[in-house]
Structures are given as C-alpha cells and as structure tokens.
Amino acid sequence: SLVVSDDDVWRDQFYDGNIKKERGAIVLRLAKSWFRIGTLEILAHSGELDLLRRLLDFIIQTHFPSIAVNDSNRYLEFFSTVVSETANLISLWMSVGFAHGVCNTDNFSLLSITIDYGPFGFMDSYDPNFVPNTSDDERRYKIGNQASVGQFNLSKLLQALKPLLDPRQKQLASQILKGYGEHYYSRFTELFKTKLGLLGENENDNYLIAFLLKVSLLC
C-alpha cells in the first residue's frame, strides 16, 4: 500500500543534482519474512555470536521445519538449503527477464523470496547489460551479473556462519558453495528448455538456447 503525506520532502530523483519538492509518502510492503543475509552479517561482524546463534535457531525453527533445531549440523543444512533455493530463485528471475536492481546482501532473503526490489524492471528483449536502476552507473547489478552476485552474497552468508561451524562443517559448506554455479546452470537450462518445449536431453540444447538469446539481442 502507499500512504501519501501532506508534507513536502526534497528529493533528487535521478541523482543528478536536480533537487525538487515532492509530496512525502510511505510504502508498505509485506512478506512472510524480512530476514536477510545482511541480518546475520551484522551480528557476526559485531561479534554477537550468542545472539547470532539464537536468531538462527529461531529462523530455522520458524521457516525451515525440515531441519531439526537440535541437530548439530543444522547450520550446515540451513546453508545448503539457502544456496540451492537462491540458485532456483535467480534462475526464475532470469527465465522471465526480471532484473532486481539492488542485489546487495541486505536485499537477499534467507527464505529465497523476492524482497526489497525498488528500481526493478523487465527486459523487453534480451540484453545482459540491462539495468533498471538509474543510480547504478557501474552496472554492478545488471541482469547479466545476477547469478554471480548471488554467489558473492552466499559467500558472505558463509562468512557470517563460520564462527558457528566446526572445521569439518566449514569444509563441507565451502564445497556446497562451489556447487552453486552448477545448480544454477542446471535449473536455468531446465526452465528454458521448458519454455522452448524441448524434451529429453540433447547436446545441442544449450547451443539452441544461447543462439535464441543472441537472436533476441540482435533484434
């Protein structure tokens, strides 16, 4: 919902120095959870490990019922689930040409749902350099970067979890993170094959997908 105020605020809408008055407003957005990677990062960074552990246990108990909260490997299982579900989410974004716009760790959900998208957009035709955020001059979060940015954010999640993992769990978590790219690529290919009506496995499927995207780019 959008609640408009009678008070004026100064805004530089395009960050180009052209400041003007606009009516203030409050946007209300709803989601089943607002826990993000950044939520855990800040606790780990400040050394609040007891609070980090308590919050993680609450998140697991509330939103990850398949993971036993008393399991000694619960944080490893949690990380594995977030890695695979993040790969699935970004694959879905890419399958419909959705650009989030601001893919930092504070905007990446631990439940792998799409939250906090402000300057988002959809491509009209395929362009890996498409970016809807007018303030992103470096194209950091262009649509072609979303998969790699997802992996970067997951590496920050692992960094936040490491104080709670033993040496064996840390090694396993690193292996899980390395599998992110393969998981993403497999899901991305599966979604595009479904869109194209391709059945079974054929060594030319990936070539066909890449070729059609390139044709779209040229058009």
Q: Which ranges of 15-108 would DSSP assign to H, the alpha helix?
A: 37-45, 49-63, 74-95
Please give the structure tokens belonging to residue 88.
Answer: 């699935």
Beta-bridge partners for 27: 2
Enclosing H/E stretch for 189: helix 180-196
Residues 6+ apart with CB under 8 A from 43: 49, 51, 52, 55, 160
Active site residue 106: yes
Q: What does the alpha-carbon distance between residue 205 and residue 213 come to, in Å, rounded to a whole number?
A: 13
| Residue 199 identity (one-letter amino acid) | L
The 8-class DSSP code of residue 107 comes to G
Q: What is 39-65 written as a DSSP string?
A: HHHHHHHTT-HHHHHHHHHHHHHHH-T
Q: Which entry of 57, 106, 116, 205 is annotated as an active-site residue?
A: 106
Instruction: Give CA angle at 45 (162, 120), nearest 5°.
Output: 95
Positions annotated as catalytic residues are: 106
